[in-house]
Structure 1
């Protein structure tokens, strides 16, 4: 990475059960050494994803001044934070989200059966074979609809209202931060397209990422698949879709997915955009 204008920090505040392990390996660990950038995992204490204001300041100050580890790609389960509040330029943010119910189902069965990545590890709900359908009927906590409230808070940030399930301002803040601060956000369902766009938009970091992903064997393209995931019944689906929390998370998902499709058409599909659509003139 020799370009003087190249970004020094890319942040991926990855959301659990969205395919983030596969994505991180494909665009960072696999090609970081080739493209000369560091890849660093940020591990949050006790699986919390919101940093308090003091920790945000310390983290931001550390990574922006850790010159021996620049340029760098940081990833971890943490909510969006605005570097400009602490007097620093924002990094390049990227992310990937998943259809909300599919994400919750993956998490629900992951707690019971684990995944194909660490097969021998005993999970929190090991031995509890209750299906998601039965959980919804009984009203148990693992399928409480507040558990759907995940992707909006990750984009909203660390304000108190961000963590409140169903908060309308949190949804608006999530949309605002997405539009203002993220280079691109794709979906789990279109991961290959997201990698291709990143390869195109930010070659200083991701040049060759798409070719690398395409060359991977199938078992490497889908790491950490949740085991024994059962499809919910039509009755359960109807109950979930009638819930306001699901509707808000789905609204955010659809909003991001629509913008991603628009970006894909402009950057990749439309041949008229393959050459620069600007030029310089009247230079005096």
Structure 2
């Protein structure tokens, strides 16, 4: 029987600079973790840096922009954290030292429902209008569109077609894209090529834990950010319909959970009474 050892599963040891790169997936609790990291940066005296709010958020970057992002990350004085919504960017490909990559994942069906209602929430457009006053408001019919009806009616927005490619603002239907990277193979929705690239990035680059651990006291007394009270419940029947087209996303999520379990077992932590 193979013995699991923490060092075999912990990619933190591969890091060549004490900079945490949190390329955060939307709607997985990343805003809450970001705020916790900000607070801990004060207590633990490390640099906290995040990307500015953008008019158009692009998660896939050209090679030139990947190089510029890698240089920016490496320019910060360590120890530090840098946070941005962006696909996995291999900093070492540009001749720069490897940072510590961290991220979060969430059940893909719950996440896509959360995203659907997040971009329709009133406070979301208030924030967008304050930041960019000239942005037009969306069609009220689109804002009021119900997720269940969107799925059941075969609405284009809620079909989630295998092999489909979406560009523009960014493909937020799936979290695997944030691990797959910027390669063209990552673009088609729910495909084997994108799935395998995402798994490989997790195995080779993502850490067990950041070197600035979150204390239980901070977690227990801090409420989630961006919790959407406007999100109605969605039936399991509708969720099952969506699951049929999210097979690779579900496989990726289960892969991440299994890897985390292996890491936990390897640590050989004593059981709590």
Pick the TM interval, shorter chain.
Answer: 0.7 to 0.9
The runs of at least 4 aligned residues of structure 1 exceeding 6 Å deviation read none
- Select the residue among 179, 182, 188 that pairs with 2:203: 179
Q: Is 1:110–1:227's contact at 8 Å kept on the other side of the alignment?
A: no
Q: Does 1:209 align with 2:215?
A: yes
How far does residue 79 in structure 1 lie from its aligned partner after superposition? Answer: 0.6
Q: Do the aligned residues in 2 keep the contact of 1:12 with 1:93 (CA within 8 Å)?
A: yes
Determine the C-alpha separation between the residues in 2 that align with 1:73 and 1:251: 29
- Between the aligned partners of 1:12 and 1:154, the Cα distance in structure 2 is 11
Q: Pairwise CA RMSD of aligned residues?
A: 2.6
Structure with a larger share of its residues in helix: 1
Where do 5+ consecutive residues of structure 2 fail to align? 1-14, 130-136, 162-170
Match of 2:50 in 1: 41
Q: Distance in 2 between matches of 1:103 and 1:125?
A: 23
The answer to whether the aligner puts 1:250 opposite 2:250 as a matched pair is yes
Distance 2:204 2:73 in 1: 21
Q: CA 1:223–1:31 in 2, change beyond 3 Å: closer, same or farther?
A: same
CA distance, structure 1, for counterparts of residue 253 and residue 79 of structure 2: 30
CA shift at 1:139, angstroms? 2.2
Cα offset for 1:65? 3.2
Higher relative contact order, structure no. (Cα contacts within 8 Å, ≥ 6 residues apart): 2
Once the two structures are overlaid, the 10-residue window that deviates more, 164-173 or 144-153, is 144-153
Shift of 1:7: 4.3
Give the equivalent residue in structure 2 for 1:275: none
2:41 aligned counterpart, secondary structure: coil
Q: Aligned residue for 2:82?
A: 74
Whether contact under 8 Å (2:16, 2:99) holds in the other structure is no
| Equivalent pair of 1:113/1:126 in contact (CA under 8 Å) | no
Residue of structure 1 in register with 2:7 after alignment: none
Partner deviation per Cα, 1:200-241 (whole Å, 9 max, x = no partner): x62xx33x5333222x2xxx3211101222222243123112
Contact 2:112 2:173 in 1 (8 A): no
Q: Report the more deviating stretch, 224-233 or 149-158.
A: 224-233
Tell me the SS of whatever aligns to 1:10.
Answer: strand
Checking the alignment, whether the CA contact within 8 Å between 2:20 and 2:81 is kept in structure 1 is yes
Could you list the runs of 5+ residues in structure 1 that have no partner in the other structure? 185-197, 272-284
Question: Does 2:38 correspond to 1:29?
Answer: yes
Q: Map residues 145-160 of structure 1 onto 2, 5 A cutoff.
A: 145=160, 149-160=173-184
Q: 1:52 aligns with which of 62, 78, 82?
A: 62
CA distance in 2, matches of 1:119, 1:177: 34
What corresponds to 2:111 in structure 1?
Answer: 103
Q: Secondary structure at the match of 1:112?
A: coil
SS in 2 for 1:34: helix
> Number of paired residues?
238
Secondary structure at 1:228's aligned position in 2? coil
Q: 1:104 to 1:61 in 2, by over 3 A?
A: same
State whether residues 109 and 227 of structure 1, in contact with CA within 8 Å, keep that contact through their aligned partners in structure 2. Answer: no
**What TM-score do you get using the length of structure 1 for normalisation?**
0.75
- 1:110 deviates by 1.4
Give the TM-score of the pair, scaled to structure 2: 0.78
- Quote how far apart the aligned CAs of 1:35 are: 1.3
